[in-house]
Structure 1
Amino acid sequence: MQFFNDLLNNRLLLAAFFGWLSAQILKTIIYVLVNKEFNAERLTGDGGMPSSHSATVMALVTSAFYYFGAGSFEFAISGVLALIVMHDAMGVRRETGIQAKVINNMMDWFQELDSDIPVEERLKEFVGHTPLQVLFGAILGIVVGIIVCNLS
């Protein structure tokens, strides 16, 4: 029971969680405003504006800085993790989404040519982020981290 109590009182984990949650909610709202339809997958899915990956790790970095300072082990580890996560979101994962879009278009084209070709499950196209989505996720994470740290 103490384990769960410790988890629920861990300000770094709370900041990271609320960074992720706020980004997912904003991402869903933005999706609805742009596309005029609700997609429940946006509440937990990857990709989109703002980057929940960036918001999560930057809320973690911000809270590590707040509680332990810039010279701490916690800040160093969370900072390196944040750089890796945000770089990956803009790089490999973004390219994966672009490739998925191309493959989905090819599947549609082949289906039009021969309807006997079985249609496989479409690949997810929302997996990565543009640099702007990562930037806004990072800013959101910093703001959420500051709010969570100042509420304690």
Structure 2
Amino acid sequence: MSSIYPLLAALLANVFAQVLKPVVLYLRTQKLDVHQCIACGGFPSSHSSTVTALTVAIGMSEGFDSTLFAITCVFSFIVIYDATNVRYYAGKNIQLTKQLISDLETLKGLKFSDPIYHEKIKSVLGHKFIEVLGGILLGILVALILFELLHI
């Protein structure tokens, strides 16, 4: 077994997740947006697929009872939690702030001249549960398939 297997699994899972994003978006909306390949958010979560593939690959190569597997598990839980909660709600806060600024301008006639109020900020930073689940499943699949390919 190659010692680079965990790294390859993680990188491949990330690439596959990013390449799948515009495909899934197209299937849902019939709109092609290749920029989704480098976007945050969307289905599947590349954060989740990457850390899951790394964790499974470490488990397969080092053993599921190894210290290294335990470390990557904890690391993965932190990244996945961040992707679904912290970053998701940061995106929601951005949406709310944009709406408040728009409402104040419309309803109160206020004009915000400071450029910071008109900055283009992406409001979707994190993931919904289903996007994370898709990333986790993709990460497991990539790690297992790559394990089989490298073991032949």
| TM tier, smaller | 0.7 to 0.9
The verdict on how the C-alpha distance between 1:114 and 1:40 changes in structure 2, with shifts beyond 3 A counting, is: farther
CA contact (8 A) 1:101 1:123 kept: no
Question: How big is the shift at 1:114?
Answer: 5.4
2:140 maps to what in 1? 142
Q: Does the alignment pair 1:75 with 2:73?
A: no
- How do 1:6-25 and structure 2 match up within 5 A? 10-25=4-19
2:93 maps to what in 1? 99
User: So what's the TM-score if we normalise by structure 1?
Assistant: 0.84
Question: How big is the shift at 1:111?
Answer: 5.1
Q: Structure 2: any 5+ residue segments left out of the alignment?
A: none
User: So what's the TM-score if we normalise by structure 2?
Assistant: 0.84
Q: Give me the whole-angstrom Cα distance separating, in 2, the residues matched to 1:111 and 1:35.
A: 32
Question: Larger deviation: 107-116 or 96-105?
Answer: 107-116
Specify the code of the residue in structure 1 equivalent to 2:58: A
What RMSD over aligned residues (CA atoms) do the two structures have, in Å?
Answer: 2.1
- How do 1:36-55 and structure 2 match up within 5 A? 36-55=30-49
Q: Give me the whole-angstrom Cα distance separating, in 2, the residues matched to 1:34 and 1:102.
A: 25
Specify the code of the residue in structure 1 equivalent to 2:24: I
CA contact (8 A) 1:104 1:122 kept: no
Question: How big is the shift at 1:115?
Answer: 6.4
Q: Structure 1: any 5+ residue segments left out of the alignment?
A: 1-7
CA contact (8 A) 1:90 1:131 kept: yes
Q: Give me the whole-angstrom Cα distance separating, in 1, the residues matched to 2:29 and 2:101.
A: 24
Q: Give me the whole-angstrom Cα distance separating, in 1, the residues matched to 2:20 and 2:57.
A: 21
Q: Does the alignment pair 1:123 with 2:117?
A: no
Summarize deviations over 1:73-117 as a string: whole Å, max 9, x none.
221111111110011111110101111111222344455545674
Question: How big is the shift at 1:133?
Answer: 1.4
Instruction: Give the percent of matched residue pairs that are identical in Structure 1 and Structure 2.
Output: 32
Question: Larger deviation: 80-89 or 8-17?
Answer: 8-17
Q: Does the alignment pair 1:132 with 2:130?
A: yes
CA contact (8 A) 1:13 1:60 kept: yes
Q: Give me the whole-angstrom Cα distance separating, in 1, the residues matched to 2:74 and 2:4.
A: 20
Question: How big is the shift at 1:9?
Answer: 6.7
Specify the code of the residue in structure 2 equivalent to 1:138: I
